[in-house]
Amino acid sequence: MLTHYLSLQFKLLNRNIRDFGMHPLLAYVLIFGLISGLGTLIFQRLPNYAPYIIIGICVLLQMRLSQKQRSDFLQIVYGNKTKRLLRMAENLIISIPFVTLLLVENQYIAAVGLPIASAILAFIDLNSKSIVLPTPFSKSPYEFTVGFRKSFLFILMVYGLSVISVCVNNLNLGLFSLFVLCIICATYYGKVENEYYVWIFAESPNKYLTHKILTAIKNTFWMALPMMALLTAFFPENWWIVLLITAIGMILVIAFLLAAYSTYPGEIGILELIFIFAVFIPPFVLVVIPYFYVRSINRLKNTLV
Amino acid sequence: MIKIVDLHKSYGSKSVLKGINAEFHSGKTYGIIGENGAGKTTLFRCIAGLERFDCTITSDLQPLKNHLGLLFAEPYFFDKITGEEYIRLLCYARHKRIDNIADKNIFDLPLSQYVTTYSTGMKKKLALLAVLLQGNELFVLDEPYNGIDINGSIALTEILLKLKELNKTVIISSHIFSTLSDTCDEILVLRNGIITETVQRADFQKLEEEIKGSRVKELVNKLGLK
């Protein structure tokens, strides 16, 4: 039963990766490379905090599988005992690259502690459905309202990282947290809404997109403001770098938003993703953003008048 | 007024609507009945402009979609959005400022909770409430009574009568005949992608008997229940 369930999950995951336009094997290599690259960087920059950060990232990922609704479904299908075994197996599989990283970095206590924590987490069901998290973005629907709630723990983590950057007097870490925060904001636009939520708008495609972009810029700014203030206060001579990173982050948010609508009602594919990351090369911004914009307008014409 | 002339819609080689002709006037409520798969939802999606189709749907409301309140049989909701935020989103989309939502919460919905915690009926009520608060001129309601409790059904019937009084146009589908006979001026029978009958209020009873009498008994007998 355990093998059947896990192979089904593996099949579903592969299907999603293929829909995204990538070969699953390549995706796994990339994920592993990303974790090792990012992990090594964290160990280099923050040797004292790195094991905690690595464990934190792993647990955050595992928590996404601990939702009560999902757990209830597994219990109905497999019964309580098998459900716990399945949950443990899932969590342990997720922890593999992180444990490997900890072993490579000679963090043996953390490397033993993480699988234990993963197994314990399999016994905890998170019922986040009923706790309504207040958000400052409720007034301007809806991406930031929903996104803020979904990514709240990640936001807390990057804010924590920025505080650490001040404590250890490491501006680069602070800038990294600021940039990650902008990436989190960008992901709010990574998935286009159900057609009904585009259709309801009494706007032309042009006005609709302009409105979305302005809201995205405004809300990204408010989200980043406390971090910008913190970094500017403690590294005042580098205020312009803080501003520059925020500006680049906002361009990334806009690129994500437009890329999503440029494939509407479909999902962002690998080609769009490549174009998004091309915005980091300055001249490409002038091509990629207008290109996505024009394509988005054409796509939205079928739904908005 | 909304006028549909010779509406055709196909999905690939499958023809769903095969020449729909209909007129919908202000201050009137129209029922659409038909078996599952007859094309009711497709017709609604075409009226809303959510589908591409052959023919033109004309209306004195321009653009029609911006005056249309559309309720799907199974409304879609985002995760992590509260009832109040959902209503605000729909009103915001139509540039409609909404104050005192609590006063307008006639279905006593827990608006400060996430919609994902609502029951099926509560979700339907929320979607309906939001569409009503948008202040539309035309309402297309696909199975609005489905999942709603008895008090909610009574309130919905009253709402539909009120909309008629306010000179709005309402197009509604329902599998519960009494809900249509209580509220509609005309019932359009959709069979195999065409409207086969347009029945006026005076003939509703005849239509109901016809539906009951026709194939239903024959089909039940086929089950061979013992």
Q: Does B17 touch chain A (CB under 8 A)?
A: no
pLDDT one-digit tens code per residue, B188-211: 999 888 999 999 999 888 888 887
* Calpha distance B131→B128 (Å, rounded): 5
Cβ contact, residue pair B117, A129, below 8 Å: yes
Shortest CA distance to A217 belongs to which of A179, A249, A244? A249
pLDDT one-digit tens code per residue, A192-236: 888 999 999 999 999 999 999 999 999 999 999 999 999 999 999
**Hey, which residues does B23 pair with through a beta bridge?**
B3
pLDDT one-digit tens code per residue, A75-134: 888 888 888 889 999 999 999 989 999 998 888 999 999 999 999 888 888 776 667 888
Give me the domains of chain B, ranges plus CATH numbers: 2-222 (3.40.50.300)
Name which of A142, A197, A303 is nearest B85 (Cβ-Cβ): A142
Cβ contact, residue pair A196, B70, below 8 Å: yes
Enumerate the H helices of chain B as residue ranges: 40-48, 83-93, 101-104, 120-133, 150-165, 177-183, 204-211, 217-222
Cβ contact, residue pair A199, B114, below 8 Å: no
Name which of B65, B75, B85 is nearest A141 (Cβ-Cβ): B85
Residue of B nearest to A145 (CA): B81
Q: Percent of chain B having pLDDT more than 90? A: 60
Q: Does A303 touch chain B (CB under 8 A)?
A: yes
Q: What is the DSSP string of A84-152?
A: HHHHHHHHHHHHHHHHHHHHHTT-HHHHHHHHHHHHHHTT--B-TTS-PPP-TTTTS-SHHHHHHHHTH
Q: How confident is the model at residue B214 (pLDDT cuts 50, 70, 90)?
A: low
Measured distance between the N- and C-terminal CA atoms of chain B, rounded to whole angstroms: 52
Q: Which residues on B lie below 8 Å from A149 (Cβ)?
A: 80
For testing the chain B interface, which of A64, A129, A131, A132 should be mutated: the one with the most B CBs within 10 Å?
Answer: A132
- Both tokens of B142, joined, read 């696909």
Taking the model in full, what pTM does it have?
Answer: 0.80
pLDDT one-digit tens code per residue, A251-295: 999 999 999 999 988 888 888 888 888 887 878 888 889 999 999
pLDDT one-digit tens code per residue, A126-184: 776 667 888 888 877 789 999 999 899 889 989 998 998 998 898 988 999 999 999 99
Residue of A nearest to B112 (CA): A132
Cβ contact, residue pair A132, B114, below 8 Å: yes
* Calpha distance A220→A200 (Å, rounded): 24
In chain A, which among 140-179 make CB contacts under 8 A with chain B? 141-142, 145-146, 149-150
Number of CB pairs, chain A paired with chain B, less than 8 A apart: 68
